[in-house]
Structure formats: C-alpha cells, structure tokens
C-alpha cells in the first residue's frame, strides 16, 4: 500500500460526497472523492493532517507528462527498481513525496521500456484514493 502524508487544503461537498484536496508537498496536491462530508466525519476539516493511501495495483505509469486523460492525481518520478515477474512486475519510483510502488504487467514494462532511471509519471484515479487519520 502506498502512503503519503499531507494536510487537507479544501473540501467540496455535493450531497453525501466530498472531493477532498490534500496538499502532500509545496507543489503537489492529491484529490480523493469519498462518501462522507464534514458533517458526517469529524476528520474532514481544512488544515487537518491526513494520510493518503492507494494500492500499488491502482497506480498507472506513463512515460510523458502530457497525457490527455482524465486522471488528475499525477506524480513525476524516476524508476529506481523493477522487480520483473513472468506476468506482473513491481515498479518502484522515487518522487518528490517519497517512494511510490506500482504493479503493472511485465508486457507494459517492456512496451514502455521501463528501467532504472527512466523518467515517468505515476497516476491514480481520485476514487481509488483512501484517507486515514
């Protein structure tokens, strides 16, 4: 499980859903959509410290910054390790907010030419992000 630490920057509410913006560094804000609101969850307060969690299997890897796709959570980094399996590989990245791991197909590792020092972008759907206090 990937884990980042941050601080709640803003919360947008619509019905029983909240879009939470979490500042994890000076230049990086993560977003999570959750089925709670500040009225139903006391931890949802601006400036509260929060942990951002997401599974390795939910991290998409790209090799360019300019992907015209809907994924909003993007972290630039460099590959520091590729643990190859027959079908699945684990790719570990060094980013400004620490190490991030991604589990993708070995075929994708080969297709993207991922190796140590490759520059990449890790992307996570906002509905795959969990929050913890």
Q: Each residue of 29-66: pLDDT tens digit?
A: 999 999 999 999 999 999 999 999 999 999 999 997 67
HEC-encoded secondary structure of the chain = CEEEEEEEEEEEEECCEEEEEEECCCCCEEEEEECCCCCCCCCCCCCCEEEEEECHHHCEEECCCCCCCCCCEEEEEEEEEEECCCCEEEEEEEECCEEEEEEEEHHHHHHHCCCCCCEEEEEECHHHCEEEC
Domains of the chain: 2-53+128-132 (2.40.50), 54-126 (2.40.50.100)
Statement: residue 75 has pLDDT above 90: yes
For 110-133, what is each residue's pLDDT tens digit? 999 999 999 999 999 999 999 999
What's this model's pTM, rounded to 2 decimal places?
0.91
């Amino acid at each position: 499980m990937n884990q980042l630490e941050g601080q709640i920057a803003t919360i947008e509410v619509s019905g029983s859903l909240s879009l939470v913006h979490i500042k994890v560094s000076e230049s990086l804000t993560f977003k999570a959509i959750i089925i709670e609101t500040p009225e139903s969850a006391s931890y949802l307060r601006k400036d509260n410290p929060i942990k951002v969690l997401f599974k390795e299997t939910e991290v998409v890897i790209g090799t360019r910054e300019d992907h015209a796709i809907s994924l909003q959570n993007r972290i630039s980094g460099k590959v520091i390790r590729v643990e190859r399996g027959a079908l699945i590989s684990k790719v570990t990245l060094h980013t400004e907010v620490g190490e991030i791991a991604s589990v993708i197909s070995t075929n994708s590792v080969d297709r993207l030419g991922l190796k140590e020092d490759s520059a990449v972008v890790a992307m996570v759907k906002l509905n795959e992000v969990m929050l913890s206090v």
